[in-house]
Amino acid sequence: MPGGGFVRLPGGSVVVALTLPRPSGDGGDVRVLVHAVNRARALTRLRNLGMRAVYLRGNAQPPTPDEVTAVLHHPDGLLWRGAPDPGQELWHPIRALLGG
């Protein structure tokens, strides 16, 4: 079951973190981070990229401070890496996951 959560930043925007099945169907999961104005906009950004069945239920796995820092310093505000993370993999831009 996909898990996720969010954190509201002092400026009012949010960072949403979701653990989803890998879109390519190769097995395994990915951790996706999205920076947006609000939770609904974050999920809409992912749906517009083709991830149609993306929902955020609860706040069981909110982004860590390191994840928040990573997504805030990326120009697109959309990142991913494999999950569970062994601590070695770097964050990738979302287009690397979607093949675009």
pLDDT tens column, 60-96: 999 999 999 999 999 989 999 888 766 678 888 888 7
> How far is Cα 53 from Cα 31, in angstroms, rounded to an integer?
15
84 versus 2: the higher-pLDDT residue is: 84
Name the average pLDDT for the chain. 87
Whole-angstrom distance, CA of residue 84 vs CA of residue 34: 18
| Tokens of residue 53, six digits | 């069945």
Q: What is the pTM of this model?
A: 0.88
d(CA 83, CA 97): 13
Predicted confidence at residue 53, as pLDDT, reads 78
Backbone torsions φ then ψ of 3, nearest 5 degrees = -125, 165
**Is residue 97 classed exposed, middle or buried when 0-12, 13-18 and 19+ CB atoms within 10 A define those classes?**
buried
pLDDT band at 10 (very low <50, low <70, confident <90, very high): very high
Please give the pLDDT value at position 1. 45
